[in-house]
Amino acid sequence: MQIKDKVAIVTGGASGLGLATARRLVEEGARVALWDLNGDQAAQAAYGLGDAAIGLAVDVSDAAAAEAGLARTLEAFGAIHFCINCAGVATGGRAIGRDGPLPLEKFARTIEINLIGTFNVVRLAAAEMAKNDPDDDGARGVIVNTASVAAFDGQVGQAAYSSSKAGVAGMTLPLARDFASLGIRVNTIAPGVFETPMMAGMSAEVRDPLIAMVQSPKRLGDPAEYAALAVHMIENGYLNGETIRLDAAIRMQPK
């Protein structure tokens, strides 16, 4: 689909992969609603993107909050054509640690945000996309979700995170099939290690071994590279139901 004059929702849009994607979409002529748990940060990020962006406080794991965010997005821009889901958390913890079994609520909260939160936004956004007039290719909308290489190469302590991201990858094809008759495509990006606030908050003890596993180029990913792939997924009308690793050939070791 063409991006110019279309409307996008970007979750986790106040920073990192989400903000880079929002910025690229605005540059391509789209109007963008930045959804983020931190409403002040979302508003500040949107201000930096100009009149084509708005920032909204939205907890993606909360049905009512996402519905309210959708209503405010429609009030501002009138339609939804693209949805890029970048909101997520990277929680860690061994299934059995020094203090015993991992608290169940910690596992559940990771699933609630990363997997259920993604599906929550997808179902609402797709329902609005289905109301759009189709283009010449029959397309009404595009959804891009975010998994992780941890969905395939989960490390020690990543049972919760890996399973949440494996769920995102796993629902990609079924969603693409669910929405095929509506003209809505669904793809997923599985990033490797990127220079995001989430990664910046990790110690060198965590960061350095991950960078060492990257093959080429030997560095952290640039969020702009994620944004470039998201834009390609929107514009390439034959790309559907796929999960693409964006990871410089990293294959994570157990720890």
Q: Which of 47, 161, 226, 238 is catalytic?
A: 161
**CA distance linking residue 245 with residue 176, whole number of Å:** 18
Q: How far is CA 119 from the centre of its chain?
A: 11
Kindly provide the residue ranges of all beta strands, DSSP E only, lying in the chain, ordered along the sequence: 7-11, 31-36, 53-57, 82-85, 96-97, 100-101, 141-146, 184-191, 243-246
Which run of H or E residues covers position 229?
helix 223-235
Measured at the CA of 24, the angle between CA 164 and CA 2, to 5 degrees, comes to: 95
Amino acid (1-letter code) at residue 135: D
> Do 65 and 41 contact (CB within 8 A), yes or no?
no
| Pair of tokens at residue 104 | 């169940």
The residue whose two tokens read 């289905």 is: 130
User: Would you call 161 a catalytic residue per the annotation?
Assistant: yes
β-pair type (96-97, 100-101): antiparallel
The residue whose two tokens read 């609603």 is: 33
Q: Which residues are catalytic?
A: 161
